[in-house]
Amino acid sequence: MQVKALFAVFAFSLMPSAAQATNLMYMPFETVLSDAIRAGRLDGSVKFYLAGNGPTANAQVLRYNVISDLRTNASNKSDRDACEWVLQSNLIKLQADAKRVGANAVINIVSYYDQHVRRDLNTYECRAGIYAARVALRGDLVRVP
């Protein structure tokens, strides 16, 4: 009996964990943002800009370095679909955070996976695995005229 238990522990240790992401992907940000607005998941009242894009002058910063780090179920989804879904979830959270403080834009958005900053003008970083996909973002909540 003890041998069976040890074998089971060994076998399970070889399997990837649910949180472990095996595929690193760089996905187009604007495409997913447009899809979320078109589908009504985002209402368009808050604008989103990756770092290096968007307004910087006359922006009143209400909150610096706001983080959204969400995972989604990736079972029975392609890596691309899971990554797009989890980005939309992060954007929905950031939209709610922005509205809560009276902001109308999120600027300086960077990928922030495991607190490692990755800046890109066009893409976001996603880690997709067998069971879960994860996107972490950091940005500033601002009020622009």
Instruction: Indicate the Cα dihedral angle 63, 69, 73, 76, nearest 10°.
Output: 100
8 Å CB contact between 101 and 49: no
Summarize pLDDT for 85-139 with one digit per residue, the tens: 999 999 999 999 999 999 999 999 999 999 999 999 999 999 999 999 999 999 9
8 Å CB contact between 23 and 129: yes
pTM for this entry:
0.85
Res 57: pLDDT: 83
| Domains, in order of start, for the chain | 18-143 (3.30.110.70)
Tokens of 62: 């209400």
Is the pLDDT at 1 greater than 70, yes or no? no
The arithmetic mean of pLDDT across residues 52-56, rounded, is 88
Helix, coil or strand: residue 33 = helix
Q: How many Cβ atoms are within 10 Å of 13's Cβ, its own excluded?
A: 8
Give the angle 138-144-95 at the CA atoms, nearest 5°. 45
Is the pLDDT at 18 greater than 60, yes or no? no
User: What whole-number distance in Å separates Cα of residue 53 and Cα of residue 117?
Assistant: 16
Summarize pLDDT for 21-34 with one digit per residue, the tens: 579 999 999 999 99
User: What whole-number distance in Å separates Cα of residue 135 and Cα of residue 101?
Assistant: 23
Is the pLDDT at 3 greater than 70, yes or no? no
